[in-house]
Amino acid sequence: MQAITDNIFIEDQFLGVVLGVIVTPRGLIQIDAPASPEDARSWRASLMNLGGGMERVLINLDPHPDRTLGARAMDCTVIAHEKTANTFRTRPTTFKAQGEETGADWESIAGLGSIRWAPPEISFSSQMTLYWGDSPVVLEHHPGPAAGAIWVILPDEKVVFVGDTITKNQPPFLANANFPDWIEAVNLLLDPAYKGYTIVSSRGGVATPNNIKNQLDFLKYARDRLDKMTAKKPLPATIEKLVDSLSGWFKAPAARHKQYAQRVRYGIHHYMARHHHASIRTEDD
């Protein structure tokens, strides 16, 4: 566990996303859960040593399985954006480890079986603030990687958890990408308003200004290439060339190259299908 401040910690040793926890006089504000329910129980046990009050709450930064599969094992109230809550309403009650390979981390966890989702019990539309101590904890909607993506902002401590808005040393998930919103969110992190902030990515931990600028360049490049592809039906070889280009943008470990290439491949196909259907609806209108 890595200390960001005296009361804010992150953990990157579990498969899935980088976790966060804020220790307050009222209790623990937890940010995301490990993908494996067993890891979630282990994480929950380790949190008992942090002190703070007795209450517990879990914030999901978006609906991705890497951060939500273990939520039920955390055994506390779940908070998320209303669009994340809507995503859970369209999902089956029970998760089953099957289907397409998306390049997500949870897909490498053996023996997951059937897991009951833990849908958010509290949701909000634009912004929500928790007052569990002297410093406010602000939950703010910043779509882009997902419609229900949010940040957790601690203005007094100058720390912000940005979820999948920024990814370090790995490509982001593009299937649900909204590039204008995503680029706007990344630009905001480069704004003077966030100067001096510690920016925590769910995919890689503390992000540097270079990580943020690299993400911005990547998103602009991916948007331009995908928009050109969506306008026509590309050949499979053309798609694979783009897969190589996008997955090689980040300095990923060699052992992850195949997984990250599949993540990009899945994202390209689903992004193009989504926008192709949208263009057909527009023409019909």
What total number of domains does the chain contain? 1
pLDDT for res 277: 52
**Mean pLDDT across the stretch 242-248?**
91
Residue 191's Cβ-count burial label (10 Å; 0-12, 13-18, 19+) is exposed
Helix (H) or strand (E) holding 188: helix 179-189
- Judged against a pLDDT cut of 60, whether residue 284 lies above it is answered with no
Is there a domain that residue 277 lies in? no
- Residue 175 in tokens: 């299937």
pTM of this prediction exceeds 0.85: yes
> For residue 210, what are the domain limits?
2-223
In a domain, 40, yes or no: yes
User: What is the Cα–Cα distance from 98 to 105, expressed in whole angstroms?
Assistant: 14
Query: pLDDT at position 283, please?
Result: 40
* Structural tokens at position 85: 């809550």
Percent of the chain whose predicted confidence (pLDDT) is above 90: 72
Q: Is the pLDDT of residue 281 over 50?
A: no
What mean pLDDT value characterizes the chain? 91
Residue from 276, 212, 209, 266 nearest 243 by CA:
266
- Which two tokens mark 211? 């990580």
Confirm whether 8 is domain-assigned: yes
Confidence of residue 279 (pLDDT cuts 50, 70, 90): very low
Per-residue pLDDT, 162: 98
Residue 41 maps to which CATH number?
3.60.15.10
Closest CA to 151 of 188, 116, 122: 188
77: pLDDT strictly greater than 90: yes
Sequence-ordered list of residues with C-beta below 8 angstroms from that of 215, at least 6 positions apart, any chain: 165, 166, 167, 172, 186
Give 54-66 pLDDT, tens digit per residue: 999 999 999 999 9
Angle at 249 between CA 246 and CA 250, to 5 degrees: 125
pLDDT one-digit tens code per residue, 24-63: 999 999 999 999 888 988 999 899 888 888 999 999 999 9
Average pLDDT over residues 154-180: 96
Residue 98's pLDDT band, with cuts at 50, 70 and 90, is low
Residue 55 lies in a domain: yes
**pLDDT tens digits for range 102-153:** 999 999 888 777 888 899 999 999 999 999 999 999 999 999 999 999 999 9
The answer to the question of residue 211 being in a domain is yes
What's the pLDDT at 280? 38
- Report yes or no on 11 lying in a domain: yes
Residue 278 has pLDDT above 60, yes or no: no
Q: Is residue 276 part of a domain?
A: no
